């Protein structure tokens, strides 16, 4: 217990619920970092953790990230996240989802869940049988929702355009070279939007066939996963893993801008400082990748209040992401601090810390 409270990940979380249901075999952690701005909103990760201590670390780091992300997106939501600890065979049963829904309901609306890694729309539908504090449900008439990936990609595309204008003085993407790491739901969405505007694209994925297919589709070039970070380009867009901007990662970059959707890109604070020292414009991940949570949060609020909420409304809100990035970059230039530091300070003020 003492070790856990001494960990920087603890960061004075408001509430941590450890759930175990003997009947279904469900073991889950629900972490609520801050409800200062509203109910803690953030997805549920279904994952097998060989060391359960890593599940707690994940829950704490991710829920704090959601506090920052939701506050910076101007959503009336706080930060929370849940992890469900799966067996090594990844078994997820209806009974487990029922028990998990009951656990969320027992929190009385303090926590609102949605999809994260290992979760599907069908899982959210199952959970919604036991609680109304769930979003990311299938799209219904006049209501946002569904797969957050395309909404996240749209926000990143807008953020990349803003960065290109800010740093390179270019009003459109024609001929701008973007190197994309990760060709999954988010990366492929970003690639398609950029390609439609004439950007020059290089991409990589550890699934080489996936990168090759996307490159053929959008008219770009696929390279090996190990080459993408050092590809000379205007924009490096990380859309795969976190912690890629470590000492070696930052040293490898040959770009003017880093702007992409992967969560927790900067490994350690000094790596953000080094990015700034190298005069690489950085779009803080939790600001640029908020499109998905904006979509599901607006869906949740609309359902709760019995109001309609269309994709147009959601996209209008996502359209505010570039303004927030520009504010951060202006403040960063004025204060001589990296964008990550400025964003972190702003987010903490917003959540009253
Ligand atoms: P995804 O699983 O659909 O795609 C990730 C892709 O990255 C896969 O194709 C995978 O093969 C590839 N990949 C993994 N390691 C790689 C490596 N070392 N080099 C190159 N490619 C690699 O996931 P996604 O939904 O597209 O999410 C991508 C990132 O964006 C994740 O960090 C996620 O946490 C973050 N994110 C996603 C959303 C969303 O709405 N989906 C929202 C916010 C943040």
Integer Cα distance of 167 and 169 in angstroms: 6
Catalytic residue numbers read: 81
Would the pLDDT of 2 be above 60? no
Per-residue b or e along 308-347, where b marks 16 or more CB atoms closer than 10 Å to that residue's CB: ebebebbbebbeebbebbeebbebbeeeebbbbbbbbebb
Would the pLDDT of 3 be above 80? no
Gap from CA of 146 to ligand 1 centroid (Å):
18
Ligand 1 is surrounded, with C-beta below 6 A, by: 148-149, 152, 181-187, 204-207, 210, 225, 239-242, 261-263, 289, 292
Q: Which atom of ligand 1 sits closest to the CA of residue 285?
A: 44
DSSP string, 322-349: HHHHHHHHHHHHHHT--HHHHHHHHHHH
Gap from CA of 186 to ligand 1 centroid (Å):
7
Instruction: Determine phi and psi for 85, rounding to 5 degrees.
Output: -85, 110
One-letter-per-residue 3-state SS of 292-315: HHHHHHHHHHHHHHCCCECHHHHH
Gap from CA of 165 to ligand 1 centroid (Å):
26
Gap from CA of 241 to ligand 1 centroid (Å):
6
Grouping H, G, I as helix, E, B as strand and the rest as coil, residue 34 is: strand
pLDDT value, residue 144 = 74
Query: Minimal CA–CA distance to 126: which of 110, 118, 116, 137?
Result: 137
pLDDT digits (tens, 9 = 90+) for 191-244: 999 999 999 999 999 999 999 999 999 999 999 999 999 999 999 999 998 899
DSSP string, 64-90: HHHHHHHHHTT-S-EEEEEEEE--TT-
* Both tokens assigned to 81: 């996240």
Averaged over 166-186, what is the pLDDT?
Answer: 97
Query: Minimal CA–CA distance to 266: which of 344, 206, 185?
Result: 344
Q: Which atom of ligand 1 sits closest to the CA of residue 204?
A: 20
pLDDT value, residue 235 = 99
pLDDT digits (tens, 9 = 90+) for 25-67: 999 999 999 999 999 999 999 999 999 999 999 999 999 999 9
For the chain, helix, strand, coil in percent to 5 are 45, 15, 35
For ligand 1, atom 29, the nearest C-alpha belongs to: 262
Q: Measured on CA atoms in the order 67, 342, 294, 180, is the torsion positive or negative?
A: negative
pLDDT-derived band of residue 1, with 50, 70 and 90 as boundaries? Answer: low
pLDDT value, residue 5 = 82
pTM of the model: 0.95
Report how far Cα 157 is from the mean position of its chain's Cα atoms.
14
For ligand 1, atom 31, the nearest C-alpha belongs to: 262
Averaged over 165-188, what is the pLDDT?
Answer: 97
Radius of gyration of the chain measured on its C-alpha atoms: 20
Averaged over 253-271, what is the pLDDT?
Answer: 96
The full set of domains in the chain, from first to last, is 2-128 (3.40.50.10860), 149-288 (3.40.50.720)
Q: Are 205 and 184 in contact (CB under 8 A)?
A: yes
Integer Cα distance of 86 and 187 in angstroms: 27
């Amino acid at each position: 217990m003492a070790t856990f409270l001494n960990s920087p990940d603890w960061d004075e979380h408001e509430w941590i619920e450890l759930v175990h249901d003997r009947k279904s075999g469900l073991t889950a952690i629900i972490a609520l970092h801050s409800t200062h701005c509203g109910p803690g909103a953030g997805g549920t990760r279904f994952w097998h953790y060989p060391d359960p201590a890593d599940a707690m670390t994940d829950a704490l780091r991710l829920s704090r990230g959601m506090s920052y992300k939701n506050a910076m997106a101007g959503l009336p939501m706080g930060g929370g996240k849940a992890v469900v600890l799966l067996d090594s065979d990844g078994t997820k049963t209806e009974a487990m989802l029922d028990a998990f829904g009951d656990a969320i309901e027992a929190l009385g609306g303090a926590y609102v869940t949605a999809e994260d890694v290992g979760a599907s729309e069908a899982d959210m539908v199952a959970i919604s049988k036991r609680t109304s504090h769930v979003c990311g449900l299938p799209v219904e008439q006049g209501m946002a929702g569904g797969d957050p990936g395309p909404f996240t990609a749209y926000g990143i595309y807008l953020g990349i355009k803003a960065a290109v204008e800010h740093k390179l003085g270019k009003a459109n993407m024609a001929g701008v070279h973007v190197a994309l790491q990760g060709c999954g739901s988010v990366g492929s969405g970003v690639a398609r939007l950029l390609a439609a505007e004439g950007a020059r694209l290089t991409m990589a994925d550890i699934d080489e066939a996936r990168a090759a297919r996307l490159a053929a589709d959008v008219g770009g070039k696929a390279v090996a996963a190990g080459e993408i970070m050092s590809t000379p380009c205007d924009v490096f867009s990380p859309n795969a893993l976190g912690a890629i901007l470590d000492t070696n990662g930052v040293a490898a970059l040959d770009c003017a801008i880093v702007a992409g959707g992967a969560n927790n890109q900067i490994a350690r604070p000094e790596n953000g400082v080094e990015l700034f020292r190298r005069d690489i414009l950085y779009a803080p991940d939790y600001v640029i990748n908020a499109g998905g949570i904006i979509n599901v949060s607006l869906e949740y609020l609309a359902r709760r209040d019995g109001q309609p909420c269309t994709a147009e409304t959601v996209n209008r809100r996502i359209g505010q992401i570039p303004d927030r990035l520009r504010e951060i970059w202006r403040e960063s230039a004025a204060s001589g601090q990296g964008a990550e530091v400025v964003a972190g300070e702003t987010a903490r003020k917003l959540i009253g810390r």
